Structure 1
Amino acid sequence: MKDKVAVITGSTSGIGLEIAKHFAKTVLQKKMK
């Protein structure tokens, strides 16, 4: 059971990282204009 929770948490944080990266890129592009 603990393994399942760890996998879910890991994948969620991974998705969060991708969203954060995408968001940071968008903000940087807006500042450059």
Structure 2
Amino acid sequence: MTTVQCCQCGSALDRPGDYCLVCHTTNADRVVL
């Protein structure tokens, strides 16, 4: 199992696209229109 990290602060996230509770940023890796 790979660990996903926040793109802002580097905290561990459960899955890609999760909201980071440490630095309060949305970690979406891409935008779907």
TM-score where L is the length of structure 1: 0.17
Task: Answer 1 or 2: which has greater helix percent.
Answer: 1
Higher-Rg structure is: 1
Q: Which structure exhibits the higher relative contact order, with contacts defined as CA atoms closer than 8 Å and separated by 6 or more residues? A: 2
Task: Answer 1 or 2: which has greater strand percent.
Answer: 2
TM-score where L is the length of structure 2: 0.17
